[in-house]
Structure 1
Amino acid sequence: MSIKRFSLLLIVSVLVFSPINVTAASSTAAKDEVIYSTLQPNGEELDMYVVNSFEVEEPGEYVDYGDYTNVKNLTDLTEITKESDEMSFTVSEESFYYQGDLEGKPLPWEFDISYQLDGEEMNPEEMLGQDGHLQIEMETSANENVNQIFFENYLLQISLTLDGERYQEISAEEGTIANAGKNKQVTFTVMPEQEGNFLVEADVTDFELEGIEISAIPSSMSMDSPEIDEMTEDFETLSDATSEIDNGVGDLADGISELNSGVSSLEDGSGDYRDGIAKVSKGSTDLINGSESIDQALITMKNSMDQEVETGDFSAMQDGLMQIATGLKEASTGLTTLQENYSQAYQALDKSINAIPTNVSEEEIKKLDLSEADQKVVDKLVETYEAARTAKGTYEQVSEAFAAVEPTLNEVSSSQTDMANLLETMAEQIAAASEGMDIQESLKELQDGLATLSDNYKDFHAGLEEYTNGVDELSNTYQDLHNGIVELDDGTNSLENGVNELHDGTTELADSTSDLPEQMQDEVDKMINEYDKSDFDAESFVSDKNENVQSVQFVIKTEGITKGEQEDEKEEPEEEKNFWDRLLDLFR
């Protein structure tokens, strides 16, 4: 008998006939579960098994639970006793591993994977060896029939390895693409409590695809708050800037309000001036008619002077002179009234024009342009402001002409009063001379005076006609100016309303950004808390009877779509060896 054969028989005898010391079952072993699952290329589940690992404090007999169809010891040669969903085994080392096969147990996630080649959806097996533009779409969602603790706390990582010689122009909008030797690896991540929808596109030659790998692990890492001090300082600067903009717009709103008040006063004064100049224009016709009557009367007196001298009857002349004097005084009174009305209208207009504020600086306008205010309102504001400045500037240019009207009216009125007084004096002198009958020389002077007066009055009448024509033209054209002032007033009203709305908006913006740094920190903390699963306690995927579970992980992979795998499927599977075969293999 050989030494090798003798040793083998000795070991067998020891194993068969040696007594076994059994320790009471313990439940203190810390357990980890790794679930391995294979999917079809379209995402449907094929099979599943679990590798259970234990870290024990002392050797002995332990119990684990799971609805397994088959179990296998991966640590040593001891048998695992299976009774219903209870597994009993003896652990002699600090670590122990065994595999349990599961049948019909769904994963916590559902996977839907579809394939298109040149825009046509196809079964992946039909695409083997073909060329074209490939699209692979993957959707992940929660399986409502499985404990939601895994969907709510686990992070999914999906990886595709693409042969660099087969795949070109690879794109994955929501994934990352990395080099893996001569291949490209596309990776997607699905956060806890989220569903995923991903698309990979590429140009493929001789289509084959390795299995898509999916790992699921608890997102239990603790997330530290990022350093955002520099960013919050920037937001503080933004907050201060919006506050300054709000203050500037507030000052602008006050200025626009003053402008609007000034333009409203301008409109009132302009209306008074328009009415006054209209009255002056309407009185011009009467004034010209009266002046023409005086001119005709002087001509008549001059022509009839000889006849009156022959008859010695000067009463008609006296009456004519008195009538002319009375007409001149009435005309002078009308001009005085006209001057007073014009003075009131002109003062109102001048006060209103000067009340228009023009103290908005270019710097303030630039700040307003750079603000987040409605650009249409800003443009209208600047346009109205420029129109107000233009109106005021135009008025300043023509103000001398407006100011010259009142002195002219005073001068004309005074001249008419002087002529009236002169004619009255002449009438009185004729009466006195006719009583003393010493009148011939005086009549000669009177004839010369009447001739001079008649000639000079023609010049006065021509000037009066020119003046009244100017007043009529001013009255007609001023209506257009007044209409423009009314439009300006409407514009400043709208402008004030718009700026007030703008101020309300900048105030709201300033209020909402005043605590922006604190809001940002709160949002960061909220996002961190949302994905911080550091307080997650693992639960068994296999059975809720299992306790002291330290971790549960999932390793999921789809079947590869390759020609080689199809050939391998035809090979006969290797027959599983029993305990004695494996024992004998140790000595072969």
Structure 2
Amino acid sequence: MKKIFLIAMTMMLAFPSLPLAASSGEAGDYSAKDEVVYAKLSPEGKQHELYIVNSFEIKKAGSITDYGNYSNLKNLTDTSEIKKNGDKISFDAPDGRFYYQGNLDNQPLPWNFQFSYSLDGKKMNVKEMLGKDGKLTIRIKTSPNEEADVVFFENYLLQISFTLDSDIYKHIKADDGIIANAGKNKQVNFTVLPGKEGDFTLEAEVADFEFAGIEISAVPSTMAIDFPETEEMTKDMESLADAIESVNEGVSQFQDGVSQLNSGVSELKNGSSQYKDGISQLGQSSAGLVKASESIQHSLKTMEKSMQDSNSPALDEIDALFDGLYKLADGLYETKDQIAALREGYVSAYETMNDVMETLPSAPISEESVQSLLNSNADKEVIQQLLDAYKNAVTAKAVYHQLQEGFLTVDGALKALSESVNAMGDQVKEMAQEVSASLNNTEIEESLSKLQDGIGAIASHYAAFHDGLVSYTDGVKQLSRAYDDVHSGISGLSEGTNNLETGASELHQGTNELHKSTMHLPEEMQEEIDRMMEEYDSSDFEPVSFVSKKNNEKINSVQFVIKTESVTKEEAETEIAEKKEEKGFWERLLDLFR
């Protein structure tokens, strides 16, 4: 601009007859005004210089009035004078475009800029890094300037650009920026949306460091944003919500099934506990039963031997014999009743256990179902507990079916034993009655002979019965010991299904919450899209003047062009040369034509 001004002055001196803009004294008018704000910052972001280039679209030539607290004014269109009275600016403008520049000394930019630099991790001044090598890091931060009009910060888009010489900058990294080729250089751009603060980092390996500076442009984000077609997206979200609802309903049914399973297994455990106690009592009573049978067998043998040794027993011995036979019969009947009661308890416990066992699942879960569960959002630990408990239930049912024949055998054995003992009691009682009756009707010796033969037959049969009883009781003891393991497994199964029910309940709570949070997802998503689009749609923004509110009526656009100082070897050498030799005005003027 200085060169243009000097050239204009020189031409005025050299050609005094050059016509100036006409001043009719009449009021002019313009249709629109544009402002371009130029600012120069230090490499660290401190504001140094600020001036405005004002552009008018003149629709009627004449005197134009503008406003601004400028410290210096410059006509960029012709040589006519621009007058200033306070903040009132006036000038004569011809038809067409008219430009003038005004400098602002105390006008802050709408943004605060902070740039920091480090080389190999050490924070340094940019000029200190000139000509050095290492890993460069530049931190860029932007924030609103509370001393300026907030309308620019809220509605303007910032574009922050770096032009990096590829011979100096290698391995450029900008995570939040865009890196593009610009001839032999690299262009790095960062964007800050309206109303947002910026925080970016640029990294590169540098050799013989020079810095061309940072260029920043700010323009209003006035483009209208077309709302995207969201129908397909919302349909997908609706399908997702429906699928989650189906999953929740399935998990609810699964929870109900697990609850029923756990209830059945709990009953199974109680029935198994009763069966275990019954078989244990049966095993414990077997020893007494065997001992009582041994006593009966011994009594029969003693009785048989006594009758063989005594040819003619005394009457009191015969009475004692009959009394012993009747007591023996009563003892056998009592044993039969105990066995019958034991069998009844065993059958009841077995039926309870069998009913519960049949409710347990028998087929393993498919790999597809397992994978589907694992891919859901449910707790993986809870799912594993559910799978383990289900596996234990299937295993328990399979083991039960393998042992079921043995359980049925116990019932048959108890029934046969009860019938045998009852028959034995009937025989003893019948024999006693027959012998007693024969004693009354026949001779004693013949009756005693028959009694002796009968007792011998009973003793012989009872010996076989006793051997069978011993075998039976041994089997009951083995079954009792084996069932301890079965009951232990059932107890473990009960604990597992209890955990399974707890886990299924937690799983259902989770899917229920997920269902509640997603049931309105399509509507919520559409509302969020609408809100975001409205937030960034600034198509209704009305531009305002950066210089003065008095200019707002016809403001067409306001743009910002901001640049930081560069640091290069050439500039450093020029700065040194200028310090050595300062030329006068006329010599500098003549340099323009050399």
**Aligned pair in 2 of structure 1 residues 504, 311: CA closer, same or farther (>3 Å)?**
closer
**Aligned pair in 2 of structure 1 residues 478, 573: CA closer, same or farther (>3 Å)?**
farther
Aligned partner (choices 291, 294, 309) of residue 311 of structure 2: 309
Structure 2 equivalent of residue 371 of structure 1: 376
Taking the TM superposition and a 5 Å limit, the aligned residue runs for 1:11-90 are 12=16, 20-24=23-27, 26=29, 28-90=30-92
Taking the TM superposition and a 5 Å limit, the aligned residue runs for 1:42-191 are 42-191=44-193
Structure 2 equivalent of residue 567 of structure 1: 573
Aligned partner (choices 416, 420, 438) of residue 415 of structure 1: 420
Aligned partner (choices 331, 336, 341) of residue 332 of structure 1: 336
Secondary structure in 2 matching 1:309? coil
Report the Cα distance in structure 1 between the residues aligned to 2:343 and 2:205, rounded to whole angstroms: 95
Report the Cα distance in structure 2 between the residues aligned to 1:155 and 1:344, rounded to whole angstroms: 85
Secondary structure in 2 matching 1:159? strand
Secondary structure in 1 matching 2:312? helix
Secondary structure in 2 matching 1:561? coil
User: Does 2:397 correspond to 1:397?
Assistant: no
Structure 1 equivalent of residue 225 of structure 2: 223
Structure 2 equivalent of residue 534 of structure 1: 539
The runs of 5 or more residues in structure 1 that have no matched partner are 1-7
Which string of whole-angstrom CA distances, capped at 9 and with x for unpartnered residues, describes residues 371-399 of structure 1?
A: 22222221111211121122122112211
How far off is 1:370 after superposition?
3.2
Report the Cα distance in structure 2 between the residues aligned to 1:179 and 1:376, rounded to whole angstroms: 52
Which string of whole-angstrom CA distances, capped at 9 and with x for unpartnered residues, describes residues 485-528 of structure 1?
A: 34433332332232122123223323333333332222222111
User: Does 2:285 correspond to 1:283?
Assistant: yes
Which string of whole-angstrom CA distances, capped at 9 and with x for unpartnered residues, describes residues 548-578 of structure 1?
A: 211111100011110111233344788889x
Which string of whole-angstrom CA distances, capped at 9 and with x for unpartnered residues, describes residues 98-125 of structure 1?
A: 0111113221111111111111111111
How far off is 1:433 after superposition?
3.6
Letter in 2 for 1:402: F
Letter in 2 for 1:412: L
Aligned partner (choices 546, 557, 572) of residue 551 of structure 1: 557
Letter in 1 for 2:35: E
Is the Cα–Cα contact under 8 Å of residues 38 and 558 in structure 1 kept in the other structure?
yes
Report the Cα distance in structure 1 between the residues aligned to 2:520 and 2:534, rounded to whole angstroms: 21
Secondary structure in 1 matching 2:108? coil
Report the Cα distance in structure 2 between the residues aligned to 1:100 and 1:9, rounded to whole angstroms: 25
Report the Cα distance in structure 2 between the residues aligned to 1:555 and 1:168, rounded to whole angstroms: 28
Q: Which moved more, 1:208-217 or 1:325-334?
A: 325-334
Taking the TM superposition and a 5 Å limit, the aligned residue runs for 1:195-234 are 195-234=197-236
Secondary structure in 1 matching 2:229? coil
Q: Which moved more, 1:464-473 or 1:216-225?
A: 464-473
Letter in 1 for 2:470: E
How far off is 1:417 after superposition?
1.5
Q: Which moved more, 1:368-377 or 1:396-405?
A: 368-377
Q: Which moved more, 1:172-181 or 1:272-281?
A: 272-281
Structure 2 equivalent of residue 345 of structure 1: 349
Secondary structure in 2 matching 1:504? helix
Report the Cα distance in structure 2 between the residues aligned to 1:317 and 1:190, rounded to whole angstroms: 119
**Aligned pair in 2 of structure 1 residues 538, 248: CA closer, same or farther (>3 Å)?**
same
Secondary structure in 2 matching 1:418? helix
Is the Cα–Cα contact under 8 Å of residues 428 and 458 in structure 2 kept in the other structure?
no
How far off is 1:477 after superposition?
4.9
Report the Cα distance in structure 2 between the residues aligned to 1:193 and 1:83, rounded to whole angstroms: 36
How far off is 1:32 after superposition?
0.8
Q: Which moved more, 1:281-290 or 1:127-136?
A: 281-290
Is the Cα–Cα contact under 8 Å of residues 290 and 331 in structure 1 kept in the other structure?
no
Aligned partner (choices 281, 300, 321) of residue 325 of structure 2: 321
Taking the TM superposition and a 5 Å limit, the aligned residue runs for 1:237-256 are 237-256=239-258
Letter in 2 for 1:308: S
Letter in 2 for 1:564: E
Q: Which moved more, 1:312-321 or 1:110-119?
A: 312-321
Q: Which moved more, 1:474-483 or 1:154-163?
A: 474-483
Report the Cα distance in structure 2 between the residues aligned to 1:50 and 1:283, rounded to whole angstroms: 114
Structure 2 equivalent of residue 5 of structure 1: none
**Aligned pair in 2 of structure 1 residues 14, 481: CA closer, same or farther (>3 Å)?**
closer
CA RMSD in angstroms comes to 2.9
Is the Cα–Cα contact under 8 Å of residues 164 and 184 in structure 1 kept in the other structure?
yes
Which string of whole-angstrom CA distances, capped at 9 and with x for unpartnered residues, describes residues 28-85 of structure 1?
A: 5411110101111111111111100011221111111111111111111211111222
Q: Which moved more, 1:404-413 or 1:482-491?
A: 482-491
Aligned partner (choices 520, 523, 533) of residue 525 of structure 2: 520
Taking the TM superposition and a 5 Å limit, the aligned residue runs for 1:257-272 are 257-272=259-274
Structure 2 equivalent of residue 4 of structure 1: none
Secondary structure in 1 matching 2:549? coil
**Aligned pair in 2 of structure 1 residues 476, 492: CA closer, same or farther (>3 Å)?**
same
Report the Cα distance in structure 2 between the residues aligned to 1:9 and 1:399, rounded to whole angstroms: 126
**Aligned pair in 2 of structure 1 residues 420, 83: CA closer, same or farther (>3 Å)?**
same
Structure 1 equivalent of residue 429 of structure 2: 424
Structure 1 equivalent of residue 467 of structure 2: 462
Secondary structure in 1 matching 2:550? coil
How far off is 1:190 after superposition?
0.6
Letter in 1 for 2:570: G
Letter in 1 for 2:538: K
Letter in 1 for 2:26: T
Which string of whole-angstrom CA distances, capped at 9 and with x for unpartnered residues, describes residues 344-367 of structure 1?
A: 222222222223355786365554
How far off is 1:543 after superposition?
1.4
Is the Cα–Cα contact under 8 Å of residues 245 and 371 in structure 1 kept in the other structure?
no
How far off is 1:177 after superposition?
0.5
Letter in 1 for 2:341: T
Tell me the TM-score normalized by structure 2. Answer: 0.89
Structure 1 equivalent of residue 6 of structure 2: none
Q: How many residues get paired?
A: 573
The runs of 5 or more residues in structure 2 that have no matched partner are 1-11
Is the Cα–Cα contact under 8 Å of residues 271 and 482 in structure 1 kept in the other structure?
yes
Letter in 2 for 1:163: D
Secondary structure in 2 matching 1:220? coil
Report the Cα distance in structure 2 between the residues aligned to 1:219 and 1:360, rounded to whole angstroms: 62
**Aligned pair in 2 of structure 1 residues 219, 576: CA closer, same or farther (>3 Å)?**
farther
How far off is 1:452 after superposition?
4.1
Report the Cα distance in structure 2 between the residues aligned to 1:435 and 1:21, rounded to whole angstroms: 173
Secondary structure in 2 matching 1:394? helix
How far off is 1:312 after superposition?
6.2
Letter in 2 for 1:318: F
Taking the TM superposition and a 5 Å limit, the aligned residue runs for 1:2-17 are 12=16
Is the Cα–Cα contact under 8 Å of residues 58 and 94 in structure 2 kept in the other structure?
no
Is the Cα–Cα contact under 8 Å of residues 435 and 450 in structure 2 kept in the other structure?
no
What is the aligned-residue identity percentage?
A: 47
Tell me the TM-score normalized by structure 1. Answer: 0.90
Report the Cα distance in structure 2 between the residues aligned to 1:42 and 1:511, rounded to whole angstroms: 52
Letter in 2 for 1:376: E
Report the Cα distance in structure 2 between the residues aligned to 1:364 and 1:176, rounded to whole angstroms: 46
Is the Cα–Cα contact under 8 Å of residues 157 and 215 in structure 1 kept in the other structure?
yes
Report the Cα distance in structure 1 between the residues aligned to 2:331 and 2:18, rounded to whole angstroms: 159
Is the Cα–Cα contact under 8 Å of residues 332 and 413 in structure 1 kept in the other structure?
yes
Q: Which moved more, 1:431-440 or 1:192-201?
A: 431-440
Report the Cα distance in structure 2 between the residues aligned to 1:553 and 1:502, rounded to whole angstroms: 58
